[in-house]
Amino acid sequence: MRLLIEKYEHRVAATVIGMLGFCPVAEDIGQETFLRFYQSLKKFRGESNVGTYLTRIAINLSLNELKRRKLSRKYLLSYYENKVKNLPAQDEELEKRELRELIHKALQKLEPKFRSVIVLRLIDGYSTKETARILKLPRGTVLSRLFRAQIKLKEILKPLLETKVKHE
């Protein structure tokens, strides 16, 4: 089990943190994902690969968490903002980290249904077909949500994108 956790931790982390942002709950949901997988090992028939199966559990748990925590969202965002403020300054790694945090902050502004397609497609790198299968949605819906989500993200990240263009 340890080997399996080590192998798929990155994938689960990308999905859960993408969905919930940097918060203590994200780690808890990550642990719960593996726990659920362990408990459902008997039911796992190998129809999808382990990574996809784990992603499905992770995305469902994250969506449930978002529903459950809708009211306390302010708390999560303030936790996140404190984390950003407490980062050490002037470092290449810091720039990367800040960028990552900005991206995740932008993601948090999307509705969960749009966020989930962005996380699976753009962060996890699943194809639109796989994304549709994981979310149990028609492929057309995934494409339409991707379009709308990207339009919104582009608006949110406009200053960052323009700066990046100037740098390059």
Partner 1 sequence: MNKKMLRLMYKSFDIELKQREKIKLNEAIMGAKKLQEEKEQIEKMRGLFEKSRVYSFTPHFAEMVIQRIREKEPLCHIELINEWLRSVFSRFAFVSVILLIALVTYNLILGEMLTSDELIFSSGVIFEELFNLPLF
For residues 11 and 124, the answer to whether their CB atoms sit within 8 Å is yes
CA atoms within 13 A on the CB side of 86: 6
> DSSP characters for 78-95?
HHHHHHHHTSPSS-HHHH
Residues in region 109-148 near partner 1 by CB under 8 A? 118, 121-125, 128, 143, 146-147
**C-alpha distance across the termini of the chain, in Å:** 45
Residues 136, 139: Cα–Cα separation, whole Å:
9
**Of 56 and 115, which CB lies nearer to partner 1 in the complex structure?**
115
Quick note: the x/- pattern for partner 1 over 27-66, rule CB under 8 A, is: x--xx--xx--xx---------------------------
- Summarize as ranges the residues that interact with partner 1 (CB under 8 A): 1-2, 5-6, 9-10, 13-14, 17-18, 22, 26-27, 30-31, 34-35, 38-39, 96, 99-100, 103-104, 118, 121-125, 128, 143, 146-147, 150, 153-154, 157, 160-161, 164-165
